[in-house]
Structure 1
Amino acid sequence: MNKKDKVLVIDLFAGPGGLGEGISATTDKNGKKPFDIRISVEKEPSAHKTLTTRSFFRKIRTMPKGIENYNLYLQGKLSREELFAKFPEQSELALNETLEGPKALGEDNKLIHSRIEKLISDHNGPKVVIGGPPCQAYSLAGRSRNAGIEDYKAEKDHRNFLYLEYLKVLSIAQPDVFVMENVRGILSAKINGKVMFPQILKDLRKPGRVTKIKGVPGYKIYSLVAPAENPNNPQYKNSSDFLIRAENYGIPQARHRVILLGVREDLGRVPQTIEQLQQQVTVEEVLTDLPPLRSGFSKQKDIQCDWEKQILNNSKVITKLLTKRFGEESVSTLPLTPIKGLTRFSTKKTNVKPKIPSHIKEWYLDCAPNNVLNHETRGHMTSDLLRYGYSAAFTKLNDGVSPKSRDFPVELAPEHDNWNSGSHADRFRTQAANKPATTVTSHISKDGHYFIHYDPQQCRSLTVREAARLQTFPDNYFFEGNRTQQYVQVGNAVPPYLALKIGKVVLELLTT
């Protein structure tokens, strides 16, 4: 790659931009950022709006008063329209990158394909395609939901074949490298009783054979975490070799995803694997400096003093229940009474010193805004507040192991037929302070039961900002849309810091 060349990046199924954020932030030996995202395809309106805002931010961050004006927007002192109007050229570029509005592969192919064809005809340097088809039909949860749909047939579910749209783009763009991400369920998903993954690999190696487009090069498919026995003809004994366990690579979350690295055959280059870190990052390390908040009431008028009274009463019940299990000495040291004066929403930074590990601290805090973004709690039923407090306190006393349904006293059992069946054993799951989080998913938008904050005094589920920290989004990453939409965006994203590590592997491939 010529030093002057930019790397053209085509981002498919982009979501709020997690994969693109990490790739675009990758720097070379001279501190330059060679990856240039020129098209980002996303169909969900709120995610598209977030994607566009972030594209715009990247274009103004080095400009005079760029960060200053962006921060005014984050503080609510400038509307989005006013911000964009201050930088008309960058605004136009950002809107152009995200196709002037939500677009979907398979529905808007004429526009998307023609835009890609124009980009590659005008570009002489390397090209990279990134992104992963939506995962609902591959995921274990998605399959469980589909099983309950009368006459559901996987072979007729278009979501199972969105990777074919990915193949079409590969055939048109013919990139030097592609990165394809998906849920681990893709390894075992079946169509007509046949496991799909080997066929997906076969198709990705020869996309032109599927799309019937002539002259399309072939690709070698590599794992980013497991070295191939024969690097020049990569084959892997186990499909799980393509599975990245994010908690082993500096991400504060046990997120397990399949990520495939395709390298065009004529490049004749072999990628490195990403390096594991010795120490895992914990939930408390990345959340402890964020403002403490209280939960709210979902079924009654939300009054702060009523909440404090409720949590105080709960603390007495929880103390008695836990004393029976862990003993008075252990429970007596546990803070359970409510923190006075907490609000449900805060933009004000605390004086608490961050515990974020050095390898990732700058990533979170670079160009950090003056205020905390997307940090607001949801409301919960009174009965669930007691369960949340119990779960958080139990987890603290149990060395970071959240209680299963069998660990809840009978008086705290919810009125669910399947509570004792074992199928929902961890319905109330606390994210332990001393471990990486469990996988942040879009389900966090529903009720928060799987994402209970480790502090029983706050007695609540995680906020969007806390989920974003666990996903390694920088603190200046603003999620557009309502709170539910923001949760979904965060849960569906690729951790940007993991994408940064992948970007370094890709850049080394293109420059060696």
Structure 2
Amino acid sequence: MTREAVARKKLARIRAGAPVRSLDLFAGCGGLSLGFHAAGFALRGAVEFDPDAARSYGLNFHGGERAHSLARDITQTQPQDFAKELKLGPVADAFDVLVGGPPCQAFARVGRPKLREIDAHPQAFRHDPRARLYQEYLRWIDICQPLAVVVENVPDVLNHGGQNIAEEIGEVLEEKGYVCRYTLLNAAFYGVPQMRERMFLIAFRREIGREVTFPAPSNWLVLPPGYDGSRAVALKFLKGLLDDAHDYAEPPTASRDLPRAVSAKEALQDLPPIFARAELASGSLKRGARRFDQPVPYPKVRKLSAYARTMREWPGFEAPEDGLKDHVIRYLPRDFDLFARLNAGDQYPEAYRHALTMLAERVADLRARGQVVREGSTEYGRLKDAIVPPYDVGKFPNKWRKMWPDQPARTLMAHLGKDSYSHIHYDSAQARTISVREAARLQSFPDGFVFSGTMNPAFRQIGNAVPPLMAKALAQNILIALRGKEAQDDHVGERTAAAV
């Protein structure tokens, strides 16, 4: 059967009312999949290399079934074997939509001619490992023959060493029979309490007969200069390319009559408070791995924000009745007092100055008690190490940030798995970095979504994910095109997905 015939067959099936079946590559714990699931898509499978993330995916979407929870190396996985293992039938008929985002490092310095060579010669990647993951992504598209493709990545792919990788991906897909568009979208415009800017590329088979569009914003926000500046740099680069960026689409505009973007306080204020200094003093907060085995009940709250209610009542991922088991924080005894001193928006230079003030106050207090502590002495050095962070202000200006309560949080990164100083809680009384569950809230994961592993792997999974509410907005837009209708009832989609 020709590719055109396969596309028409899949499209007819969907437009007759059958569920739209998705496959998630480079899936992580499943942020994209959760959004597509919420829009009514049937999740048929995922490929993910990280064992903790793969277990999270299987646990949340497939009841922990072993076949859906295994870590898989995409370079060692054959699509036909994958479909057979999951009992999905012929691979070319198993999936309607393919979503994911190959790591951008795989695209570095691989130009258009090289990409076409890689696409045309399946073994070419063996001679150029930089392009291997990109080639694998194309290989799965070739074999699975999806009606639609979604690619997510960092904004830098628009100017990666002078290359526009998104445009190059689009060109390769267009040669395969797709219509492509890409743009930059910020999650804060789509109900996510986080200013997360990402590139999204969507491709439709030409048989669908629809132009690619991107979802209209649901929320409004004036982005801080750093975000506006980054976007301006990317757009300036694109405009300089003229016709060489013909697949680029301007981001949909958010109007001021929309609801304001969800703030960090709206996202987190109903969660149990964690008073770090009090817990440290009582001995309940100790050094060691944070395991998710102690439920913490929700506090009584007079009124939930609309966002908190969404996170607690997400269909299929409702809040656990016995409380939250991953509402845990890092053990940072040196810094809890310093966190309390910070003002909203303070970054590392301000934190360092506050710490030097605290050191001076401590030295003055000791001198008032008759203990002389001279600068440069062993005792002074010991005090400084116990109060002042050791990082160079010039090298790490953005290492720390205390969140603004009335704004969305800044971008959560995978680096959360190593430390979470980039997201210090806005409440000075709690004086701490955010918990795993709070990071999940800021990324729009519902309270019933479970992360496999301990604290550090969970933070990493969250930082790597696509915000599910952002993914849902994209999925709803794609569903309209595939169904061939102008509106869809989410509940109809949910019922048909559950029937698969």
Q: Which band: TM-score by shorter chain? A: 0.5 to 0.7
1:212 is matched with none
State the shift of 1:427 in Å.
Answer: 2.4
Number of corresponding residues: 373
Task: Identify if the C-alpha distance between structure 1 residues 381 and 125 changes in structure 2 by more than 3 Å, giving closer, same or farther.
Answer: closer
Partners of 2:409 and 2:442 within 8 A in 1: yes
Hey, what's the Cα distance between the residues in 2 that align with 1:429 and 1:480? 27
Matches within 5 A, 1:276-291: 276=217, 277=219, 278=258, 279-291=260-272
Q: Which of residues 291, 305, 309 in structure 2 aligns to 1:361?
A: 309
1:405 is matched with 349
Q: Which of residues 328, 334, 342 in structure 2 aligns to 1:376?
A: 328
State the shift of 1:23 in Å.
Answer: 0.2
Partners of 1:345 and 1:375 within 8 A in 2: no
Deviations 1:171-215 (A, max 9, x none): 11111111111111222212xx64534322222323xxxxxxxxx
Indicate the SS of the match to 2:23: strand
After TM superposition, which residue ranges in structure 1, 4 or more long, deviate above 6 angstroms? Answer: none
Hey, what's the Cα distance between the residues in 2 that align with 1:19 and 1:457? 35
Task: Identify if the C-alpha distance between structure 1 residues 435 and 156 changes in structure 2 by more than 3 Å, giving closer, same or farther.
Answer: farther
Hey, what's the Cα distance between the residues in 2 that align with 1:349 and 1:307? 19
Residue identity in the other structure for 1:362: T
Deviates more, 1:106-115 or 1:172-181: 106-115
Hey, what's the Cα distance between the residues in 1 that align with 2:418 and 2:277? 15
Matches within 5 A, 1:21-100: 21-26=34-39, 33=40, 35-57=41-63, 94-96=65-67, 98=68
Residue identity in the other structure for 1:460: R
The answer to whether residue 230 in structure 2 is matched with residue 260 in structure 1 is no
The answer to whether residue 179 in structure 2 is matched with residue 220 in structure 1 is yes
Matches within 5 A, 1:15-414: 15-26=28-39, 33=40, 35-57=41-63, 94-96=65-67, 98=68, 101-109=70-78, 115=84, 119=88, 121=90, 127-135=96-104, 158=129, 161-190=132-161, 194-206=163-175, 217-223=176-182, 242-276=183-217, 277=219, 278=258, 279-295=260-276, 303-305=280-282, 347-357=296-306, 361-366=309-314, 367-370=318-321, 371-382=323-334, 384-391=335-342, 394-395=343-344, 401-403=345-347, 405-406=349-350, 408-409=353-354, 410-411=356-357, 414=388
Deviations 1:150-185 (A, max 9, x none): xxxxx9984654222111111111111111111112
State the shift of 1:356 in Å.
Answer: 2.6
State the shift of 1:125 in Å.
Answer: 8.4
Partners of 1:183 and 1:256 within 8 A in 2: yes
Residue identity in the other structure for 1:386: D
2:113 is matched with none
State the shift of 1:417 in Å.
Answer: 6.1
Q: Which of residues 382, 387, 392 in structure 2 aligns to 1:418?
A: 392
Task: Identify if the C-alpha distance between structure 1 residues 456 and 45 changes in structure 2 by more than 3 Å, giving closer, same or farther.
Answer: same
Partners of 1:137 and 1:157 within 8 A in 2: no
Partners of 1:296 and 1:380 within 8 A in 2: no
Task: Identify if the C-alpha distance between structure 1 residues 159 and 411 changes in structure 2 by more than 3 Å, giving closer, same or farther.
Answer: farther
Give me the identity figure in percent.
29
Residue identity in the other structure for 1:16: C
1:74 is matched with none
Hey, what's the Cα distance between the residues in 1 that align with 2:191 and 2:296? 27
Residue identity in the other structure for 2:421: H
Indicate the SS of the match to 2:75: coil
Residue identity in the other structure for 1:164: Q
Indicate the SS of the match to 1:380: coil
Tell which has more relative contact order, 1 or 2 (C-alpha 8 A, sep 6+).
2
Hey, what's the Cα distance between the residues in 1 that align with 2:94 and 2:76? 29
State the shift of 1:48 in Å.
Answer: 0.9
Hey, what's the Cα distance between the residues in 2 that align with 1:288 and 1:296? 19
Partners of 1:120 and 1:173 within 8 A in 2: no
Task: Identify if the C-alpha distance between structure 1 residues 204 and 133 changes in structure 2 by more than 3 Å, giving closer, same or farther.
Answer: same
Task: Identify if the C-alpha distance between structure 1 residues 291 and 136 changes in structure 2 by more than 3 Å, giving closer, same or farther.
Answer: farther
Q: Which of residues 403, 421, 430 in structure 2 aligns to 1:449?
A: 421
State the shift of 1:361 in Å.
Answer: 3.2
Partners of 1:294 and 1:459 within 8 A in 2: yes
Hey, what's the Cα distance between the residues in 1 that align with 2:86 and 2:149? 17
Partners of 1:271 and 1:505 within 8 A in 2: no
Partners of 1:281 and 1:357 within 8 A in 2: no
1:497 is matched with 469
The runs of 5 or more residues in structure 1 that have no matched partner are 27-32, 58-90, 140-154, 207-216, 224-241, 309-343, 396-400
Hey, what's the Cα distance between the residues in 2 that align with 1:204 and 1:285? 41
State the shift of 1:25 in Å.
Answer: 1.5
Hey, what's the Cα distance between the residues in 2 that align with 1:156 and 1:125? 31
The answer to whether residue 24 in structure 2 is matched with residue 11 in structure 1 is yes
Deviations 1:85-143 (A, max 9, x none): xxxxxx6xx434x2x6110111223665664998463786871101111346679xxxx
State the shift of 1:403 in Å.
Answer: 4.1
Task: Identify if the C-alpha distance between structure 1 residues 492 and 156 changes in structure 2 by more than 3 Å, giving closer, same or farther.
Answer: farther
Deviations 1:276-319 (A, max 9, x none): 1221000000100000013379xxxx8534799xxxxxxxxxxx
Indicate the SS of the match to 2:409: coil
Provide the TM-score with structure 2 as the length reference: 0.68
Task: Tell me how large the CA RMSD over aligned residues is.
Answer: 3.1
Task: Identify if the C-alpha distance between structure 1 residues 115 and 135 changes in structure 2 by more than 3 Å, giving closer, same or farther.
Answer: farther
Task: Identify if the C-alpha distance between structure 1 residues 117 and 362 changes in structure 2 by more than 3 Å, giving closer, same or farther.
Answer: closer
Q: Which of residues 395, 402, 409 in structure 2 aligns to 1:437?
A: 409
Task: Identify if the C-alpha distance between structure 1 residues 112 and 490 changes in structure 2 by more than 3 Å, giving closer, same or farther.
Answer: farther
Residue identity in the other structure for 1:381: P
